[in-house]
Structure 1
Amino acid sequence: MGLSFRRLSTLMAAGFLSVTACVAQAGAAQVQAAEGAQSAATPRPSIVRLDSGRIRGQDDGTVRTYSGIRFAQPPVGELRWKDPVAAKPWKGVADATKPARQCTQMEAGKQIGGEDCLFLDVNAPAKPTRTALPVMVWLYGGGYTTGAGSAYDARRLADEGDVVVVTPNYRLGAFGYLALKGLAGSGTFGLADQLEALRWVQRNAAAFGGDPRNVTLFGQSAGGMSTCALLTSPAARGLIDKAIIQSGSCMLDWVSGTYLPIPGMPSFTPYSSLQASQATGHDAAETLGCAAGNELECLRAKPVSELMKVNDSFASNLAYGTPLLPLNPSQALREGRFLRVPVMSGGTKDESNGFISGAAQAGFPVTAESYPKLMEGAFGADADAVMKEYPLSDYASPGLAWARVGSDRAWACPTLAGDKAMAARTRVYAYEFADEKAPNISNIPADFPPGAQHASELPYLFDLGGRPWWSLTPEQWRLAGQMVGYWTAFAHTGTPKVAGAPAWPAFTKSRGTVLSLKPADQGGIGPADYSSEHRCAFWSRLSS
């Protein structure tokens, strides 16, 4: 079947959005719940002085919350498609009690947010401390086309882990990743926003009790891919002291159909060469009627609604071969050209389940008839060998069989390869979130078990709408507490060591331990037989 590139890119974005849209909706519910709780608890005002002026947040006795803090000037007009510029100083006391606007994106078929979106939120413990606290900076996922820092309520991390958590927005889609010949910053404006947020942290962490010399960057999905990319960016030196990469290894690699089971689906990675990104930009400009040689001026004059017509084309357009990313991040990892900081790295056991189910709901189910065709499209002459390794008879449905192929080939084994590359030069702690009964974050139908699908670990770390959206069992809440402990202990010391929780050995060349994170009623936390379960030796032989 023939599909236009634009249709393919729209489906690619839709795959990421199948889970992140639920996160965004849960975030909105959390904001409403928080507003109701605030009016009932009557929190005290909390004023801090930043380098740009004073802000007024809220202190409820447990956590101090500051929302909607501007960290860069509005990237509009002549600043559209320019690197971010630090926020201008203001007079008086700016309100920081409500979440600010999200960056422009689509949600449920409607355009939301706006270009003036470079804001961040801060959560910090309310109790005084004699020593400066670690700072954790969160980068949200969403396929580079959706998401917002305000959707991730970090109160539990701040309170239970005794850390300061910063959740910034960054530009998305065409606004964050447009590339054109001659355009400075091409393909990396969203990444530049993340760097500007990290610079803001250096200047302002102390105002919240944070230590600018102890900053952990962490993110999931596109946020994890951005985190991994930033480890390879010369511009990030001195800004990152530790990193946590969740479902975002630099080495992720989706061969045709392993991301979405669509015949003709191109292979792709989280990053794009500058030349390919420029080609996408010029195609988008042509689609919108901009003449060759006048693309930038023409696009800057376009209203947001026009640009949204091509927005999904930029779902995987973060460009390397650029000043911020000189090398493909996967190459940089292999060659050891990355920051030598402690790293936690992992993903979920059943990454592909939500994507494959979502594709079925969109009209692209995997069937017994299409399974061999998908194999041939993805693996060519090796299709029979892969079919033999993953026979349909071993799975409850063809969709689950293909989801296992995708989870292993595109996600798990590349993540393992990335961990090995990093562990050769720095300290690495590897994990796999494996709760087979995790919240059904992407609303997979009952006939397709969600398992530990992509993004299913997020409710264990953040409050994404609370119990009305996802309820956890007592055993899952215990796991959530252990995970918050691991994540924040790593931010404190670079070692995820928590009293009362199982030991987490470092991942080394001689001992490639991957810690499985699951509730006690499923076996509890312990070493995973990771390489064997995901058939990484098979995939390594196939690619050699």
Structure 2
Amino acid sequence: MSSKVKSVILHSTSKSELNIYLLTMIRYKIIIFLYGLIGVSGNTVSPAVAGLDSALTILKDNDLYAQYTTRTSDGILVEAEKPFLVAHKACESLGESLWNPEIESFSAGLNNSLLYQKYLGKFSAGQQFWVGSAGNTCQAIDFKGRFQTLDCHRKLPAICTQSAPLSNLSFVDTSPRFHITKAMGDQTLTGYRDINSWRFFGIRFSAAPQRFGYSSVYSGKGHAMAIDEPARCLQNLNSEAVGSEDCLFLNLWTPYLPGKRITKKDLKPVMFWLYGGGNVVGTISDPGADCGNFVARGDVVCVGINYRLGNFGWLAADNTTITGNYALSDMVTGLKWVQKYIKYFGGDPARVTIMGESAGAAGVRALLASKTAKGLFHAAIMESQPVGYIPHRWYAEYRTIAEHTSAFGVLEAVNCTSASDKVACLRATDASTLTLLPADKVANYPVIDNKFLESNGLQVTGKGFINSVPTMIGATRDESAIALGPLPRFTNLTESLALISSLLTQDITAAANSPAFSLPPGDLAEAVFNATVRVATDGTIKCLGLATAYSAAKHKTLPSIYAFEFNRTYSPPNYTSSLCSPPITPEFPLGDANQEYYKCHAGEVILVFGTVLRLGLPDRDGLDIPFSQAVIDHWASFMWRYDPNPNPAYLKARGYFNTLNQISLSGKWETVKPKRPELRVLQWDSLSIPFSEGPQCAALGYPLNYYEAYL
């Protein structure tokens, strides 16, 4: 008990009451001492923390408004029932005190986050929780915020304060006060918390594999710190080799930590995140994809893994033991780690959703096609998966090892073709040399190796193996605009597409003669650019994404599939251009996102993760944050229920009324049905429309029945 509280009690009691109080304190000190002797702590700050053999939940009503939120009342729920003084000691062991209604307002967020625990079925409607008071009474609170003085011997869950600060792009507090140590198998890991989540960063999930060797699950022993961002996998950043070959670490965010006794029904769904970057760059430390806001709002556990990049992750060399897909082995190893250890962090290994953007989505697609990943995940989300024009095709239509070897010519580039032992030569080559080769000498695609991949693509028509799980697939509306922006402008569509053809190494100029891409009246250069963006976006991502959804629905190779297109985006600061920003108007000096602008590649990521304000970006028109709320609620619903339509009862229980109003306006997001396939246009006031770009995709040679005809 803090000296401040002791002082209040001593000044408000009579001599006889004081004697009773002192005897009670002695009794409870003995109890607490015995708790420490038997080591009851499953989540610990020190080896034995009195009374803390309990599941812990961060109570955070996260509206994504960060430092501007009015939902300012937070707490930590110590779920195990304990007498009052032991509960108080449990809070102290977390560096906190019992939550005090005289200091914080119950109705400023704690009401919703506590009521949600009842919605989950963890407590009955009449449950009470120990909280603090300024007097010498033992006070409890119920779900309606009513307080009652109870016998201090009663055993109840407790609500502690939550004083960990809000972290953001420029600030994080990893000081020991906020540390927590978690046992998993034969290892203990010390992470920390911020206001939203418990955070364990830099967890090794595989020992450093031999170069061009497969990874395997790491089962560590002893103790490790998990509070710092890990090294990224070796990559070429601005013509400099950055990172390490020893990079197979993961970051983990969770709103809930179970105690020693893990109850399966209390475990949360798991998001398994794969970053984008063309399979040549990327890191789990991308601040735009920080999972803290997502897990707090969506009540899921998030795991993001590093996987090997470029030649270290994807090189295959014919007639050698270097068969490629090493990055894919890292993804499978990460999923195996989740199956083995995620329960210790509150995640349910039976409810894992793999999710990726761009090359990360290509990783998801490869996992869907891989027998080695069977049973390791249970749903999938692909955002902006590249597929279509060469070279994007090779992310989804896999080549043989011989074709792969010929395409990249890495052996020749590092003078290993005449070596008696080509594998030894490649392993002896300086890591920087392999990293900094010209782009066309850096392997970055999956390959048919007959271990991880056995066919030339995802078998959506039922002709071969597929991991049949509920799936979401979609894109941003104008994916290619950001890549095309720096190129010269033309007033002739054929000339514009000829330049794109030279970059793609595939002739797409025939599209200029198709009525599907006729130019509207007005500024000719702008019309040509719009048409060029449309041809490029359709041909590199959109058309075959829709064809994937269509064929999977038609042949029932996936049990359910939901299609989407983002028509509101917010490009991350490290990957944007003026084209990707909404026009500035007198009414909206930061940009009016309801007006026309290009919805660029990667423009959905910070909305999906809820990191707009975390990155120091403004809400441009007052709707970016509410829209991000709705997107997280759709994505989290899919992870919980394999259905992106949130349960209205859930939204009410959590106080998510912005989303509740939006789904009442937008109607149900339907699964793709082959006779009349629809996609959800994600914007403020979302809507469902028939699959777009049908004539355009047919003109490009990528019709809806592409996989029936060509794969």
TM-score range, shorter chain: 0.7 to 0.9
Structure (1 or 2) with the greater helix fraction: 1
Q: Indicate the residue corresponding to 2:605 in structure 1.
A: 458
Q: What SS does the aligned partner of 1:150 have?
A: coil
Matches of residues 70-149 of structure 1 in structure 2 within 5 Å? 70-75=204-209, 79-91=210-222, 93-126=223-256, 131-149=266-284
Q: Which residue of 2 aligns with 1:177?
A: 314
Counterpart check, 1:373 vs 2:505: no
Q: Go from structure 1 to structure 2 and tell me whether the alpha carbon gap of 1:510 and 1:149 turns closer, same or farther (over 3 Å shift).
A: same
- AA aligned to 2:193 is D
Match status 1:489 vs 2:637: yes
Identity of paired residues, percent?
Answer: 26
**How far 1:385 moved relative to its partner?**
3.1
Give 5+ residue unaligned stretches, structure 1. Answer: 1-30, 260-266
Q: Which of structures 1 and 2 has the bigger CA Rg?
A: 2
Deviation digits for residues 393-414 of structure 1 (CA, Å, limit 9, x no counterpart): 5761533321111112332111
2:342 corresponds to which letter in structure 1? Answer: A
Aligned match of 1:326:
454
Residue 198 of structure 1 deviates from its aligned partner by 0.1
Q: Which has the higher contact order (CA 8 A, sep 6+)?
A: 1
Kept in 2: contact 1:48–1:56 (CA 8 A): yes
Q: For residues 268 and 164 of structure 1, do their structure 2 counterparts lie closer, same or farther at Cα, with a shift above 3 Å needed?
A: closer
Deviations 1:88-122 (A, max 9, x none): 5232x200001100000122332211101000000
1:245 aligns with 2:378: no
| Cα separation, partners in 2 of 1:541 and 1:314, compared to 1, 3 Å | closer
Greater displacement, 114-123 / 419-428 = 419-428
**Candidates 419, 431, 435, aligned match of 1:308:** 435
Counterpart Cα distance in 1 of 2:405 and 2:410: 10
> Residue type of the partner of 1:146?
V
- Alpha-carbon distance in 2 for matches of 1:154, 1:228: 22
* Greater mean alpha carbon deviation, residues 187-196 or residues 101-110: 101-110
Match of 1:525 in 2: 686
Q: Separation in 1 of the partners of 2:347 and 2:516?
A: 54
Q: Counterpart in 1 of 2:513?
A: 385
Match of 2:565 among 432, 437, 440: 432
Aligned residue for 2:182, secondary structure, equals strand
Q: Report the number of matched residues.
A: 489
Q: How far apart, CA to CA, are the structure 2 residues paired with 1:99 and 1:375?
A: 38
Secondary structure at the counterpart of residue 227 of structure 1: helix
What does residue 353 of structure 1 align with? 481
Distance verdict in 2 for CA 1:354–1:34, change over 3 Å: closer
Alignment partner of 1:506 out of 671, 691, 700: 671
- Provide the secondary structure at the position in 1 that maps to 2:304: strand
Task: Call closer, same or farther: CA 1:88–1:311 in 2, change over 3 Å.
Answer: farther
Q: Distance in 2 between matches of 1:350 and 1:155?
A: 28
Question: What's the secondary structure of 2:207's corresponding residue?
Answer: coil
Match of 1:62 in 2: 196
Give distance in 1, aligned partners of 2:254 and 2:681.
Answer: 29
Amino acid at match of 2:607: Y
Q: Verify the 8 A CA contact 2:378 2:469 in the aligned structure 1.
A: yes
Aligned to 1:288: 414
Distance 1:381 1:158, change over 3 A: closer
User: Match for 1:115: what amino acid?
Assistant: E
Counterpart residue number, 2:16:
none
Match of 1:19 in 2: none
3-state SS in 1 of match to 2:568? coil
The normalised TM-score by structure 2 is 0.63
Q: CA deviation at 1:444?
A: 1.6
Letter of the 1:66 counterpart: F
Provide the C-alpha distance between the structure 1 equivalents of 2:455 and 2:227, rounded to a whole number of angstroms: 41
Distance of aligned partners of 1:379 and 1:205 in 2 relative to their CA distance in 1, 3 Å threshold: same
**Residue identity matched to 2:207:** Q
**Is the deviation greater in 133-142 or in 150-159?**
150-159
The residue matched to 2:285 in structure 1 has which SS? helix
Task: Confirm or deny that 1:254 pairs with 2:410.
Answer: no
Q: CA deviation at 1:447?
A: 9.8
1:480 corresponds to which residue?
628
Match of 1:528, as an amino acid? Answer: I
1:116 aligns to what SS in structure 2? coil
SS of the residue 1:328 aligns to: coil
Q: How far does the alpha carbon of each residue in 1:8-64 deviate from its partner, in whole angstroms, 9 at most, with x for none?
A: xxxxxxxxxxxxxxxxxxxxxxx9946733258x75222122235111001235310
Query: 2:343 and 2:570 mapped to 1: Cα distance?
Result: 40
1:486/1:497 contact within 8 Å kept: yes
Q: Do 1:270 and 1:316's aligned partners in 2 also have CA atoms closer than 8 Å? A: no
Question: Contact conserved, 1:336 with 1:422, CA < 8 A, in 2?
Answer: no
Q: Deviations over 1:139-172 (max 9, x none)?
A: 0100000101121210111111110000000000
1:51 aligns with 2:185: yes
* C-alpha contact 1:357 1:448 (8 A) present in aligned 2: no
| TM-score, L = length of structure 1 | 0.82
Question: Is 1:166–2:314 an aligned residue pair?
Answer: no
- Mapped contact 2:202–2:226 kept (Cα < 8 A): yes
1:149 maps to amino acid = I
Conserved 8 A contact 1:202-1:212: yes
Q: CA deviation at 1:211?
A: 0.7
Q: Secondary structure at the match of 2:171?
A: helix
- Mapped partners of 1:472, 1:148: distance in 2: 26
Quick one: which amino acid aligns to residue 138 of structure 1?
Answer: W
Q: Could you tell me which residue of structure 1 aligns to residue 528 of structure 2?
A: 398
For residues 508 and 199 of structure 2, what CA distance do their matches in structure 1 show?
A: 53
One-letter amino acid of the structure 2 residue matched with residue 124 of structure 1? T
Residue 150 (structure 1) aligns with:
285
Larger deviation: 286-295 or 192-201?
286-295
Distance of 2:174 and 2:315 partners within structure 1: 42
1:289 Cα offset (Å): 1.6
Equivalent residue for 2:367? Answer: 230
- 1:279 paired residue among 371, 396, 406: 406
**Quick check: 386-395 or 222-231, which moved more?**
386-395
Contact 1:177 1:190 in 2 (8 A): yes
Equivalent residue for 1:208, pick from 345, 348, 352:
345
Structure 2 portions without partners, runs of 5+: 1-165, 583-596, 649-659
Separation in 2 of the partners of 1:430 and 1:213? Answer: 24
Aligned counterparts of 1:427 and 1:224: Cα–Cα separation in 2:
18
